[in-house]
Structure 1
Amino acid sequence: MITPFRIDVPQATLDDLRRRLDDARLPAPLPGDGWDTGVPVSWLSDLVDYWRTQYDWRAIEQRLNDIPQYTTEIDGQTIHFLHVRSAEPDALPLLLTHGWPGSFVEFLNLIGLLTDPVAYGGSAADAFHVVVPSLPGFGFSTPIVGTDWGTERIARTWAELMNRLGYAKYGVQGGDIGAAVSPEVGRVDPEHVVGVHLNGPGPLPPMPLPDDELATLTPLEQDRVARINAFMAEEFGYIAIQSTRPQTLAYGLVDSPVGQLAWIMDKFREWTHPRTTLPDALLDRDTLLTNVMIYWLTGSAGSAAYVGYAQQGGWGRTPANSGVPTGAIVFAHDVGIRRYTERENTVTRWTDVDRGGHFAALEEPELLLTDVREFFAGLR
């Protein structure tokens, strides 16, 4: 059964948030108060003040509820999703999967462009019906049920969702966790998936790379390997925590909105491009805060961490190639390398671009949209 869903946050919940923000105890700045030790107090305190005094959740809530939303139960798990059908009769269904620390909010500005291209100066031939599920354990796809939410189970859940919606043929797209789940949808449902499109695709090469293999890479690919090494040395801590102690971490994040904000903003600064530009200079503050609100209002910090990084049983295996045509776009921040992606996927389109970061749908929606349209143009 599919049930219409509306976001309706009790006023008491918003009042509680306001009290917590008013009474927040921020840490003393560390020497220099720079990003090398984490989110600077000087920067975050200003964003917290904006959250307290200017951010209007009720206006955002109304805009979100203008988008058709639903829930359904699959394999015991509540799945929340957006579903916007195009008026174009030949539109292709497209399933979009977000990552961590993102949410369905990532795709909001793409929905109109995908479903109604004519209204934005495009062609009716590029129209999509859009389905945007919230990953299990994320946002309104909570509480989490069961212990084995690896990419294959999520992929089977997505395939069942598309079946319930009556879509016999569809495409899939995703980044971050979505870039791991989307190819898996092609593997579990190859008779129905016409194409897989990824931003920031994996898998990553086995590290460290031998010198002779490294020498065969292009300068661009060698730069990506160097940044993978830097990530493992400087940024891996959050994965270590989320994949081993998600419950312990959750106590702090679901109790402190400032803690939740800082945990997510750290990644928006590190993974947007250029890295030296502050997140709220690249993306508007309301968008950043709305994404954080999805985590805060649903208390999903722990289950999102658990689903995103605790299911490591399949790591290190090489999945079977589904044979489904796969396209990839790699923005400036990301580190996908074609030869490693091709070990598991039938790559028919690969695009490297010199700008944009990990949150492609938010940072470079037009570039992502163009690549998605051109990839699926021959697969309809």
Structure 2
Amino acid sequence: MPQADIDGLHARLDDAVWPEVPDAATWSLGVPPGYLRELAEHWWHRFDWRAAERRIAADSVVVDTDDHAGVHVLTRRSSRPDAVPVLLLHGWPSTSADFLDMLGPLTEPTPSEMASHVPPVDLPAFHVVAPSLPGFGFSGPTRELGWDVVRHARCAAEVMAALGYERYLVQGGDFGSLIGPEIGRLHPERVLGVHVNALAGSYPDPADPDPLAGLDDADRARVADLGTIWAQRHGYAAIQSTRPSTLGYAMTDSPLGLLAWHLEWFVDYDPAGTAQTPVDPDAYLTDVTSFWLTRTAGSAMRLYAEAAAAFGEARSPSGVPTAVLNLPGDHAVRPFAERSHRIVRWTEHDRGGHFASLQAPDLLIDDLQAFTAGVLAGEYGAGPSGFEPAERS
């Protein structure tokens, strides 16, 4: 990125106009000023964008598809001849940079990682493909409407085909957990399996007169907890689903506003870290700086409006075997999720958070490897893809 753009960001941070917020204001009213001032100071004086930029560039390619010219992709191939291609899909407000620390462990699992399993297993290795969604960061902005979940799924499949991968696994979190399964519905013959975290779209049947019937106590508590949380914090989604352009002007013009708006989700409403693992500030700032420099805050949040039809709507299961990883802050309910997915694996952990690739990459990698091992061993059946356990590429 041009140095003038970096200098301009710093100048705007220097000249930021801060609102008057009572010192006693807590996170229940939004981002507290003390927390934001500390992070803004770090952004200006200590965060090294050029170092982040070099890490991103080292594994970057740009792919043109029929749907979108210039999809930015992080990709790294394994040295293992039996490596399995995997497509990693992020959500909002993220970019593919969230997967940077996973590239090494996924492509070249080490003997020590393999030995940590009891009994020891030959962990799968992966050829990794991690695009930034069109409209996000270096894959944006998008300049036309129509980028719903299906179009994103179609574009991601085109990226895999352009890179020479005809058959592959898909992993996705947040919006990626909607887009990934949709690829399985569009191309069940290509998708060997789908792994999701932060599963969206886990809803009861609206026609069911007693939707909680049959749920155990843990799932009932999860539903109640989600209802409480959503009532308190759904404002961001409401405006992004209805008036994203209006908010986009402010986010594109104010780095301080962008920092605060995105920060709410990255702390995942638990800034003290008592339930969820905090996100490394530099990882968060890598995403925020990418959005700022590419002027894609508005096009990224527009995904909420474009994809609004996918919220609360059950989709027909693709038949592709699907694994779900549930971490603190996630509220997927298996009986609800099974309306839209052929679930063959369901894992719960008490650490991590909504952004698994940043808050618990070891758990995400471990669960993806275990699921993949099951796919390769034929544990979940061939499914519509006709996949044979001995097949790897």
* Fold match by TM threshold 0.5: yes
In structure 2, the residue matched to 1:3 is: none
Q: Distance in 2 between matches of 1:253 and 1:14?
A: 17
- Shift, 1:68, TM fit: 3.3
Q: Distance in 2 between matches of 1:188 and 1:12?
A: 43
In structure 2, the residue matched to 1:321 is: 317
In structure 2, the residue matched to 1:153 is: 151
Q: Distance in 2 between matches of 1:120 and 1:261?
A: 38
In structure 1, the residue matched to 2:379 is: none
- Shift, 1:209, TM fit: 10
Q: Distance in 2 between matches of 1:92 and 1:212?
A: 43
- Shift, 1:314, TM fit: 4.1
- Shift, 1:90, TM fit: 1.1
In structure 2, the residue matched to 1:74 is: 66
Q: Which piece of structure 1 moves more, 30-39 or 108-117?
A: 30-39
CA deviations over 1:69-113 (Å, ceiling 9, x no partner): 323233244311111111111100000000001111211111100
**C-alpha spacing 1:157/1:256, structure 2 compared with 1 (3 Å):** same
In structure 1, the residue matched to 2:222 is: 224
Counterpart of 2:370 (choices 366, 371, 374) is 374
Percent identity between the two aligned chains: 43
Matched, 1:289 2:285: yes
Superposed, 1:126-137 pairs within 5 Å as 126-137=124-135
In structure 2, the residue matched to 1:5 is: none
- Shift, 1:316, TM fit: 4.5
In structure 2, the residue matched to 1:263 is: 261
- Shift, 1:329, TM fit: 0.7
Q: Distance in 2 between matches of 1:183 and 1:27?
A: 42
Q: Secondary structure at the match of 1:358?
A: coil
Q: Distance in 1 between matches of 2:123 and 2:206?
A: 45
Superposed, 1:241-260 pairs within 5 Å as 241-260=239-258
* Residue type at the aligned position of 2:16: A
- Shift, 1:146, TM fit: 2.8
In structure 1, the residue matched to 2:36 is: 44
CA deviations over 1:243-287 (Å, ceiling 9, x no partner): 11111101111111110000011112235xx55329998232211
Counterpart of 1:53 (choices 23, 45, 61) is 45
Q: Distance in 1 between matches of 2:72 and 2:3?
A: 22
In structure 1, the residue matched to 2:55 is: 63
Counterpart of 1:114 (choices 106, 112, 127) is 106
Q: Secondary structure at the match of 1:74?
A: coil
Q: Distance in 2 between matches of 1:361 and 1:52?
A: 25
- Shift, 1:215, TM fit: 5.0
* Residue type at the aligned position of 2:362: E
TM-score, structure 2 as length reference: 0.88
Q: Distance in 2 between matches of 1:281 and 1:83?
A: 27
Superposed, 1:85-96 pairs within 5 Å as 85-96=77-88
Q: Which piece of structure 1 moves more, 51-60 or 357-366?
A: 51-60
Q: Distance in 2 between matches of 1:148 and 1:313?
A: 12
Residue ranges of structure 2 left out of the alignment (5+ in a row) = 115-120, 377-393
- Shift, 1:151, TM fit: 1.1
* Residue type at the aligned position of 2:356: A
In structure 2, the residue matched to 1:311 is: 307
**C-alpha spacing 1:12/1:278, structure 2 compared with 1 (3 Å):** farther
**C-alpha spacing 1:281/1:202, structure 2 compared with 1 (3 Å):** closer
TM-align CA RMSD: 2.2
- Shift, 1:298, TM fit: 0.9
TM-score, structure 1 as length reference: 0.91
In structure 1, the residue matched to 2:9 is: 17
* Residue type at the aligned position of 2:8: D
In structure 2, the residue matched to 1:234 is: 232
Counterpart of 2:141 (choices 140, 143, 150) is 143
* Residue type at the aligned position of 1:161: V
Aligned residues: 370
CA deviations over 1:2-56 (Å, ceiling 9, x no partner): xxxxxxx101001101100111111111361211110000110111111111111
* Residue type at the aligned position of 1:160: E
- Shift, 1:190, TM fit: 0.5
CA deviations over 1:355-374 (Å, ceiling 9, x no partner): 22100111111111110000
Q: Secondary structure at the match of 2:324?
A: strand
CA deviations over 1:172-198 (Å, ceiling 9, x no partner): 001100000000010001001000000
Q: Contact 1:114/1:127 (CA < 8 Å) preserved in 2? A: yes
* Residue type at the aligned position of 1:198: V
